[in-house]
Amino acid sequence: MQNNIIKKKGFATIFAFMLIIIGFLPVVQSVMLSQNITCIKTTYNTFYEGTLSGYVKDPSNNSIEGALVRVHFHGEYRENYSDSNGYYHVVDIPICWCIKNATCSKEGYRTEWVLLPIYENTTYDFTLYPLGPCYPVFNGTLGWNGWYISSVEVSFVYDPEEVAEIWYYYKGWHNYTEPFIIDDEGGITIDFYWINHEGFQSTIIVFDFKIDQTPPITTLQTEVFKLGFRWYAKFILNAYDALSGMAPNLLVYIDDLLQAEFEVIDWVGAEFNFQWSKNFKYLTFEFACYDNAGNQAYESVNGSDIKSFNIFQRFYTQKFYNIFFQRYINHFINLFFNF
């Protein structure tokens, strides 16, 4: 009797296992990643509950009023100005995977920036350094990591009672008379000095900044392949950026809804394998990646455009299933009932 029970349990286990392999039991959709990719989050719910607050002061610990603190994220930003005590409070920042770029600026002071993870009640204090009677102002769109992602207009702010002339060096020395635009990409250096009304010349002051206006170069390849008894859709994303380099952040969307976040170590052949479903042909798969300056590159493909297996492959697969069952199902039945 005990042997019969063992035989029944053994057969039930084997039969259930075979059903799973053949595909008669439900299968959970899965994702396989290449070794250079780490999954950070597979569901995405953005909560705009992050805050950044703190104080803005000068090197002598005096409060600075009217300093603009701006937090950049996902192509957007939130901002707030410091009050008479130097206190600022930026709200409605998303709590998510990415490091936020926070900047603090005020006319007459050198702009400061920092990369911060933002949570509820994040705090950070800025120290702004005064620039003196003459200094340049850079007007452009500031991206990530101190990079500008637009052309930059350069102008000089100065006290006319102290400053008579301003000379700057950019592709040669020029007497400053009006703002000028810099479109070049890469590292930019501006040297300048000023002369007072008595003819005294200041020391040469150097300002550096970086411009990257070009999104990464990307390609997306897709195909469908078979692994065991299951079909998978393969997505291979290649990305390259010659200036600021590639950031590790990758977002995967389906029909414009963010599904997962990944960290990519090597952008040569980042591979994703999704278990294939016939419903995929009605969906759009989208991949968003960034360079270190914050420029976004975007690739998408419709599920109906992904090369799938044809009717002959489907026929031969079904034929194999039939042969397998014809050969073995009678043996399993006899084993189950003939003790």
Q: Which amino acid is at 318?
A: Q
The tens digit of pLDDT for each residue in 64-75 reads 999 999 998 877
DSSP state of 227: E
CA dist 242 and 217 (Å) reads: 9
How much is the pLDDT for 324?
43
Q: How confident is the model at residue 110 (pLDDT cuts 50, 70, 90)?
A: confident
The domain ranges of the chain are: 20-43+215-309, 47-210, 310-339
Band (315; pLDDT cuts 50, 70, 90): very low
Contact between 304 and 282 (Cβ < 8 Å): yes
> For position 305, what pLDDT does the model report?
87
Residue 17: its pLDDT value, please? 33
Of residues 305 and 333, the one with the higher pLDDT is: 305
Average pLDDT over residues 34-61: 75
- For residues 274 and 235, the answer to whether their CB atoms sit within 8 Å is yes
Question: Would you mind telling me the total number of residues written for the chain in this entry?
Answer: 339
What does the pLDDT read at residue 39? Answer: 62
The mean pLDDT of the chain is: 80
Comparing C-alpha atoms, which of 264, 51, 244, 79 is closest to residue 145? 244
Q: Give the whole-number percent of the chain exceeding pLDDT 70.
A: 76
How confident is the model over 222-255, as pLDDT tens digits?
888 888 888 888 888 999 999 999 988 888 888 8
Which pLDDT value is given to residue 234?
86
Mean of the pLDDT values across residues 279-302?
90
Do 213 and 150 meet the contact criterion of CB atoms below 8 Å apart? yes
Which stretch of 178-182, 311-315, 335-339 has the lowest confidence by average pLDDT? Answer: 311-315
DSSP for 142-185, please give it: B-STTEE-S-EEEEEEE-TTT-SEEEEESSSEEE--S-EEE---
Tell me what the mean pLDDT of segment 302-312 comes to.
67
Give 252-265 pLDDT, tens digit per residue: 888 888 887 888 88
pLDDT in tens, 137-193: 899 988 888 899 999 999 999 999 999 999 999 999 999 999 999 999 999 999 999
Does residue 336 surpass a pLDDT of 80? no
pLDDT tens string 81-109? 999 999 999 999 988 767 788 999 998 89
Query: From 2.40.70.10, 1.10.10.10, 3.40.50.300, 2.60.40.1120, which CATH number describes the 47-210 domain?
Result: 2.60.40.1120
Domain 20-43+215-309 class, CATH top level = mainly beta
pLDDT at 49: 86
